[in-house]
Chains A and B, each alone.
Chain A
Amino acid sequence: MARYFFDIENGGQHRDDTGSECRDLDEVRAIAVRTLIGIAAEEAALHDRQTVVVSVRDAAGASLLDMTLTLATAWSNRDGA
């Protein structure tokens, strides 16, 4: 187990000072995916276009992973619906 820090950017920046214990890099990746999807489900419903980024640092502060989720909404014929 090692501690990794997951910084979030979604409009504003948030630096993770707590960190999460992860079993391995697969879990780091899984946490990044679940966090992105969870935040998008919660916060992106209000916006037509949203980009959420999770950046993971290891305990030494070295950058390990950047993951970006972009939701783009394009209505074809909203007025006629």
Chain B
Amino acid sequence: MAGSPPPTLTPLLRKLESVIRLDDEERRAVLALPHTIRQVGPHTDVATVGERPAHCCLVLEGWAHRYAYTSAGDRQILSFYIAGDIPDLQHLYLPVMDHSLASLTACTLAFIPHEAMRALVVGRPGVMAALWRDTLVDASVYRERIMTLGRRQSLGRTAHLFCEMYMRQCAVGLADDLSCPLPPTQAELADAVGVTAVHFNRSLRTLRSQRRITLQGGQLTIRDWMGLVAMAEFDPVYLHFNEDRHQSAEKVSA
């Protein structure tokens, strides 16, 4: 039996190119980044508060998450990360971890030394812009989350999270036809939208009974995209996908 080929950094390239275009030399340089592959089980800490990481952690397969706990022991899941994401990219320039990063499912992770990331961008302004933009989009996702957690109720938050995770997976080729993996448990999804699991379950039942979604065996299927978008007040502009491409299309048509 042939073993599966070793994982490559292609998911990173897909992610960067979902927001900005790179030229051939830049693509080759990204794929040639030195890295160490680690397979981790579910719920394994990668970096915790106070640590000083020396590597960037790139998700190649599986889901990771950032989280924090209150002193009473209540968890808030701050964000989910999928293949191609570098959840701790900002720690290239912010030495100390201010939250914890862990796998959610079993994950294949690539650890890229910080020196290699810094060397990559020297003389490659396109790659520098792509990485900078990646962290800016991360911040934009957090602004949207403040809006959602501050001003929407459980049903809107849940619908919003489903729209976002579907769109993000679509952008890197992990979803299509209104269906995508959604591996977090209901308790984890509840901790991400900041409601009790009991209340989350109620929202899920409402979305199901209104035939907007089905969620089974870690697979989300959206039955009524426009209805879900309306319920979430979801406007994907904050994800900043493909804006350069749209701009050049506009220039051509002008």
Residue numbers of A with Cβ under 8 A of B are 6, 8, 14, 16, 18, 20-21, 23, 27, 30-31, 34-35, 38-39, 41-42, 54
Q: Is B202 an interface residue (CB 8 A)?
A: yes
Q: Known: A14-B205, A20-B187. Contact between A35 and B153, CB under 8 A?
A: no
Pick from A6, A16, A27, A42: contact of B154, CB below 8 A.
Answer: A42
Return the chain A residue nearest B201 by Cβ.
A18
- Beta-carbon contact of A18 and B155 below 8 Å: no
Give Cα A39 to B205, complex, Å.
13
Pick from A8, A20, A34: contact of B202, CB below 8 A.
Answer: A8
Return the chain A residue nearest B190 by Cβ.
A20
Pick from A23, A27, A39: contact of B199, CB below 8 A.
Answer: A39
Q: Which residues does chain A contribute within 8 Å of B205, judged by CB atoms?
A: 14
Q: Known: A14-B205, A18-B186, A23-B73. Contact between A54 and B153, CB under 8 A?
A: no
- Beta-carbon contact of A39 and B202 below 8 Å: yes
- Beta-carbon contact of B155 and A42 below 8 Å: yes
Q: Which residues does chain B contribute within 8 Å of A20, judged by CB atoms?
A: 187, 196-198
Q: Which residues does chain A contribute within 8 Å of B199, judged by CB atoms?
A: 34-35, 38-39
Give Cα A41 to B151, complex, Å.
11
Distance to closest chain A CB from B107 (angstroms):
24
Interface residue range, chain B:
10 to 19
Pick from B155, B186, B187, B198: contact of A54, CB below 8 A.
Answer: B198
Known contacts A20-B196, A42-B155; 6 additional CB pairs below 8 A are: A14-B202, A16-B198, A34-B195, A35-B195, A38-B153, A42-B153
- Beta-carbon contact of B196 and A31 below 8 Å: yes
Distance to closest chain B CB from A6 (angstroms):
4
- Beta-carbon contact of B153 and A34 below 8 Å: no
Instruction: State which residues 94-112 of B face A: CB under 8 Å.
Output: none
Pick from A16, A21, A27, A42: contact of B201, CB below 8 A.
Answer: A16
Residue among B72, B198, B199, B202 facing the most chain A CB atoms (10 A cut-off)? B198
Q: Which residues does chain B contribute within 8 Å of A34, judged by CB atoms?
A: 195-196, 199
- Beta-carbon contact of B198 and A31 below 8 Å: yes
Q: Known: A14-B202, A18-B186, A20-B187. Contact between A38 and B197, CB under 8 A?
A: no
- Beta-carbon contact of B154 and A38 below 8 Å: yes
Nearest 4 pairs of A and B residues by beta carbon: A42-B153, A6-B198, A38-B199, A35-B198
Pick from B73, B186, B187, B195: contact of A38, CB below 8 A.
Answer: B195
Residue among B72, B154, B202 facing the most chain A CB atoms (10 A cut-off)? B202
